[in-house]
Structure 1
Amino acid sequence: MATLTIVPSKLLCRLAHIPLLLLLVTAGADAATLTLPAAIAAALRTQPQICQSAHDASASRDLSRAAHAATLPQISLAAGSIWSESRAGQPLFVSANGPREVIGQLRVSFPLYDPQLSALAQVARDQSVVAQWQYQATRLNVVATVVNDYYRLATLLTQERIWNSTFSTAEKLFRDTRRAYRAGAVSRLDLVQTELLRNKARTGLQQSAAEVRAAMQVMNLQMGLPRRSVWELPKVSDSIQPLPAFHALAAQAETAQPLLQVVKRQIDVAQAQVDVQRGATLPTVRAYGAYGVDTATVPHGNDLGWQGALNLSIPIFGFGAHGQQIAAAQEQVAALRSAREALILQIRSRIAQDYGAARAARKTLANTRRAAQEAERVYVMTREGYFAGAINALNLAQAESSWVRARLELASAAVAVRLTRIQLDLDTGRYPTGPTGISPISCP
Structure 2
Amino acid sequence: MLTKREAKKAEQRMKKLKQTYLQRTACTSCNCSLSKDDITTEDLYNNSIANQCNLKNFSKDVNNNIYIETNRRGRRIKRNKHLLSLYNNTNIKASNFIYPLFIHEEETEKKETKLDSIYTYNFEGIVKEIKECLKLNIHHFMLFPVVKKEKKSVYCEECYNENSHFSITIKKIKEKFSDEAVIYVDVALDPYNIYGHDGIYDEKKREIINDISVHTLVKQSLCLARCGADVVCPSDSMDNRIEQIRKNLDFYNFRNVLILSYTCKYSSCLYKPFRSILSSNLSQNYVKNKQSYQHDFNSYIDLNNVEKHINEGADIIMVKPSLFYLDVISKIKSRMRDSTNVPIAVYNVSGEYMMIKNYVNYLHEGINYENEILTELFKSYLRAGANIIITYFAKQYGLYMKNLYSKNVTVDDYCNSHFNIELTL
TM-score range, shorter chain: under 0.3
Query: TM-score normalized by structure 2?
Result: 0.20
| Structure index of larger Rg | 1
The structure with the largest helix share of the pair is 1
Answer 1 or 2: higher relative contact order, Cα 8 Å, separation at least 6: 1
Query: TM-score normalized by structure 1?
Result: 0.19
